[in-house]
Amino acid sequence: MDSQSSSTLMPTVSIGGVDVKRITYRGEPIVTMSQVDEIHQRPDDTARRTFNENRDRFVEGADFHSLTSDEIRTMSQLGIFPSRTARANVLTERGYLKLTKPMNDDRAWEVQGDMVDVYFAAQEGAIDVSRLPLSKKLKTVGDVMHGFSRLAGLLGLKGNQRALSAAMATQRETGVNVLELTGVTHLKADISQQFINSTSVGERTDPTKTANEVNLILEKLGLQAAHRIPGKRPGKMRIAYWDLTDAGRAAGGDIFDTGKKDFKGRPVKQIMWPTSVIALVQRQLTETLL
């Protein structure tokens, strides 16, 4: 699948007491028919039959998306569909509201608000929790972080590295800095491994990446920041050096003296990383490829 048709398994969120995976398709939150059945506590296949019976009322591209076989295969690998699924339609927020509009039972009244405020609240990769009351805001952020923590665990992260990874992902997703919210100024990295540079990090990822590519990924993760200066060409900027951010220090990054000097005789320093940062970079690569 190319980047324009990618789907991503998102963290777990709680809707009316049911834990479901938030899924995005082409950058837009979508919900499957089976998820609608689960959330609304309806018999299996209810949503699909209702959709098919009212197919002419739904607009493809606005209310739903018909998935290609490759897209279904990829989603099946992520556990979204059963492995032998041949056809599948997924609903946008507008399609979900159309499908569930006739539902007037207590369950529908209970969950539709959460679906709009939590599940479909993702715009450009972020869940807007600012409108939620504090109790619901904390629960939503907690659910998101719990989901990311489980994903970090699947990638082999442990201890503070796992907590930091989940906190960083939660901040990207919700805009809430969990560490700051709880008064934690930093997490000491669980480091008992060698330090390596960005070149060595890139050599251990799949696919392998150059030092420059790894540095840009580390910047995207918020672990380091580029100091850019005007380049030789007008209007062009170049990276003079990298600064280690607070998040980078919490992840175990440190600045080492290389023993070399620049043309002005100043010591040349380099950011080095514990080997645990490879998992963070690999996860970013994997999410990009999905």
Q: What domains sit in the chain, N to C, each tagged with a CATH number? A: 3-128 (3.10.260.20), 132-187 (no CATH), 195-289 (no CATH)
| pLDDT tens column, 204-231 | 988 899 999 999 999 999 999 998 888 7
pLDDT band at 10 (very low <50, low <70, confident <90, very high): low
| pLDDT tens column, 247-258 | 888 888 888 776
Question: Which of 4-13, 85-94, 165-174 bottoms out in mean pLDDT, i.e. has the lowest?
Answer: 4-13
User: Nearest 5°: CA angle at 96, between 86 and 120?
Assistant: 105
The length of the chain in residues reads 290
For residue 241, give the DSSP letter.
Answer: E
Q: Sign of torsion, CA 129 130 136 141? A: positive
- For the whole model, what pTM was predicted? 0.46
Q: What residues does 227 pair with on adjacent strands? A: 241
**Is the distance from CB of 21 to CB of 11 less than 8 angstroms?**
yes
Residue 189 pLDDT greater than 80, yes or no: no
Higher pLDDT, 63 or 12: 63
pLDDT of residue 201: 92
| Pick from 204, 193, 191: nearest CA to 250 | 191
pLDDT of residue 59: 93
Residue 238: other Cβ atoms inside 10 A: 11
pLDDT of residue 104: 83
